[in-house]
Amino acid sequence: MRSERITTVPEYLKNIKRLPAIMTGRAAWALPDYLPTIPIEQILEMSCMGGNQDIDPSSVWQINVDAYGYVSSWICSGILLGNAHETPLAEILTRPLTERPQIVQDLVGRGPASLLDMAEKHGFRPRDRYVTKCHLCWDIRCAVYMHYPELFAPAELYHE
């Protein structure tokens, strides 16, 4: 029988602070109080281009294909790159950025700042601080996904 002590959330989060936390899904709702935040002004200057934590098609190294056929990058689950039930997966994955949905093009170039106008039309007001750009993006998408089912799906992803 193992007698290992259970790590507490604050203890566990010390390790997360070494790398940027991916603040989507339940993490975005449950963990922000435990992690350092940065002003929204800094986040609004960040793009989503390059690196393995962005939606830039040239750098996506892992994808999700859910039961509905929706295809998204591992880091940006819920932002649709296509639907494998409608379009061959190889075509979805090799499509150049200029042929991706406009929202994907905008996110790559301007980051979550590109979603603010859309969100504000639906009453969204950003917080003053977020843990990461992904945290802001998730907050926006949770507020507007129902208005843009062709862009943000499946709906179940955005429920707490």
Q: Where are the domains of the chain?
A: 37-152
Q: Which residues pair with 130 in a beta bridge?
A: 38
**pLDDT for res 16:** 63
Beta pairing class for 82-83 and 70-73: antiparallel
**Least-confidence region, from 57-61, 66-70, 102-106:** 57-61
CA separation, residue 73 to residues 18, 80, 82 (Å): 23, 8, 11
Task: List pLDDT tens digits, range 74-132.
Answer: 778 899 999 999 999 999 988 888 888 888 889 888 999 999 999 999 999 999 999 88
- Tell me if 135 sits within 8 A of 39, measured CB to CB: no
Task: List pLDDT tens digits, range 17-52.
Answer: 566 666 666 776 777 777 788 899 999 999 888 766
Q: How far is the C-alpha of 64 from the C-alpha of 72, rounded, in Å?
A: 5
Sign of CA dihedral 19, 24, 27, 33: positive
**pLDDT for res 97:** 85
Q: Where are the beta strands (DSSP E) in 52-156?
A: 63-65, 70-73, 82-83, 129-130
**pLDDT for res 132:** 86
Is the pLDDT score of 1 beyond 60?
A: no
- Cβ neighbours around 92 below 10 Å, total: 20
- Tell me if 112 sits within 8 A of 47, measured CB to CB: no
CA separation, residue 102 to residues 12, 38, 107, 121 (Å): 38, 28, 9, 18
Instruction: Tell which residue, 137, 92, 132, has the closest CA to residue 118.
Output: 137
Count how many Cα atoms sit within 13 Å of the Cα of residue 17 in the half-sphere of its side chain.
12
**pLDDT for res 94:** 87
Q: What's the rounded mean pLDDT across residues 56-83?
A: 85
Where residue 12 falls among pLDDT bands split at 50, 70, 90? low
